[in-house]
Chains A and B, each alone.
Chain A
Amino acid sequence: MTRYVIVGNGAAGVSAAEEIRSLDPTAALTIIGGERHPMYSRPGLAYVVINEIPDRQVIARQPEWYREHAIELVHATAARLDVEARQVRLSDGRGLDYDSLLIATGARAVPLPYPGHDLDGVVYLDTLDGTRELLRRAKRARRAVVIGGGITAFELAEGLAHHKVETHFLVRKDTLWSAVFNAQESQVLADRMADHGVRLHFRSEVAEVLGDARGRVTGVRLTSGEVLGCDLVGAGIGVRPQIEWVRGAGIEVDKGILVDEFLQTPVPDVYAAGDCAQVWDRWTERYTLDSLWPSAVAAGKIAGRNMACDQPALRATYIKGIPFNACLLFGLHVTAMGQLGGGRNAAEADVVQHISRGSSEIWANTPHAYASAWSGSGTNSIRLALGGKRLMGALVVGQQTLADPLRDLIEWGTDLTPLRADLERGGPDLSDRVLRFWKLARLRRSPDFATSVHQGVWE
């Protein structure tokens, strides 16, 4: 009987377990989870913080699910991997033998890199227990400072403001989320944040978190010397794969665990998937981290299949999709997809950000010439990043009608030449034209289309 061990009780681990169980009904299947909860939705924590759902609602698999699938859930932390002995060593000293191993330990919030980062009152939106702690503290706190430039920092600020904590949001640059937003998009979100009572401090960077004699947060000191008093510091500066425990085990590690298209490491019978894995990205042509929940679900399923599949021909390959992230920030829907900021190199990324309108050059056949077209009215906007004749990336703010059509156009690699005049003009009509063009593109891809033209349906 094969012994499968999955280290990690998150999206990738659970999805792999489901797949393994469906292919191998009798195998021994163990999931090791460091937190004392069944699998829960970490992205869902943002909605717990704004009281959209009670905390128990983020539990995505109940304890019965593990029983029904005959999965042994071990609440422990993996401390060391011995690939020679084929054993995972747990922090409590126990050893678990495996025939096939999946590393799905995910990623954790990066601690603040400033003095005072370990003071009592520095909070993260990272785990269920951490979120409960954050909510407890938010009840008593009067003032909070949020540090970080991306989605998690926004979610932290929204949550704290929701609990009537006076929330100050620090931004290093002149605009919000500058890796993704242009100035107009930043302004739309800034207005929303102000509506929710969040105070924005642009061009502000923390030098130190300040505390009292009892080790509790009392404020932050900025690089300018200014001191902002507060009793909570919310940190959302990014995540880092949890892979320290496999270092030295003979597994190739870069930013994450390097895996091939089968999500397998070069070590026999050792796989990795989810936030801790570094996978091939055909869009940037390099190995990258793929830290998105739906990606982890998809990758876990493929890793599980390959682990349980004894026929090489039936193995599945993981193809990383275009980066796609939909979120709801202060009531504003934002979907970012494809190459918007992170192009092949930094210079091109800047071009994408700063050319505001298309020019004829975008139609030249150089594949890496980027330009963008923008269309917006009120707080709704779309921004398209073009590479040659194709769509490389898009940002949809507010109304989301175009989110799926734009993703299709990127994935299909549709030639946008018929839209050339519209893209160069930009403006309010662009959205409607893109939608109609997508309808046609979809029609052309329909298997019935060729036959219907042949039969003269269109005449």
Chain B
Amino acid sequence: MNLLQRLFGPRLEPTSYGAPAPDALVTPDPTRCVQCGICGFNCPVGIPVRDYACRGRIVDDLRCVQCGKCVEVCPRGTLRWTRPVSGLEGINPAEAALLLAEFAEDGS
């Protein structure tokens, strides 16, 4: 577990591709990675993104300029933007209550 995961806990909420929040970090899903190296090849600052991706480590390289190129080019959807979240999977109580009512067992 790396430093960020220790600080914020493992739960991370995806944000949309290409439009990261200021605290968003590129996060790999190693079960998708085939180590092809497209990510690192397209990185404008030369981060070896593959080395992070294949080990499932958040790309916490200080050189990252959050351009999102690696997220965009990965053919297998390995890389996402995530940000640290708190509380219930990043879902606020109002939305949670809505979801609960929507799928109530005795409902539709």
Interface residues in chain A, defined as those with a beta carbon under 8 Å from any beta carbon in chain B: 11, 41, 43-44, 47, 52-54, 57-60, 293-294, 297-298, 321, 324, 326-328, 333, 335, 400, 403-404, 417-419, 421, 436-437, 439-440, 442-443, 446, 448-449, 452, 457-458
Contacts and interface: CB of A to CB of B under 8 A. Distances in A.
Nearest to B11: A446
Contacts of B97: 458
B16 to A, nearest CB: 10
A327 B75 contact: yes
A60 B54 CA distance: 10
Nearest to B40: A57
B108 interface: yes
Given A326-B76, A436-B102, A443-B99, A47 B50 contact: no
Q: How large is the interface on B (under 10, 10 to 19, 20 to 34, 35 or more residues)?
A: 20 to 34
A184 to B, nearest CB: 22
If over half of A's interface residues share one DSSP class (helix, strand or loop), that class is named, otherwise mixed; here it is helix
B103 A43 contact: no
Nearest to A458: B97
B62 to A, nearest CB: 23
Contacts of A449: 88
A439 B30 contact: no
B108 A421 contact: yes
Contacts of A418: 103-105, 107
B38 interface: yes
The 4 A-B pairs of least Cβ separation, nearest first, read A44-B36, A43-B34, A328-B75, A418-B103
Given A58-B37, A297-B33, A448-B87, 20 more contacts: A11-B35, A41-B34, A41-B36, A43-B34, A52-B75, A53-B41, A57-B41, A58-B36, A293-B34, A321-B31, A326-B32, A327-B75, A417-B105, A418-B104, A419-B103, A421-B108, A440-B103, A443-B89, A443-B99, A446-B89
Given A60-B50, A333-B77, A442-B89, A436 B99 contact: yes
Contacts of B93: 452, 457-458
Contacts of B103: 418-419, 436-437, 440
A297 B38 CA distance: 18
A324 B31 contact: yes
B76 A60 contact: no
A417 B75 CA distance: 34
Contacts of B108: 421
Interface string B72-108: 0101110000000001110101001101101111011
23 contacts: A11-B35, A41-B35, A44-B35, A44-B37, A53-B37, A54-B41, A57-B40, A293-B34, A293-B35, A294-B30, A294-B31, A324-B31, A326-B76, A328-B76, A400-B77, A418-B107, A436-B99, A436-B102, A439-B91, A440-B102, A443-B96, A446-B89, A448-B87
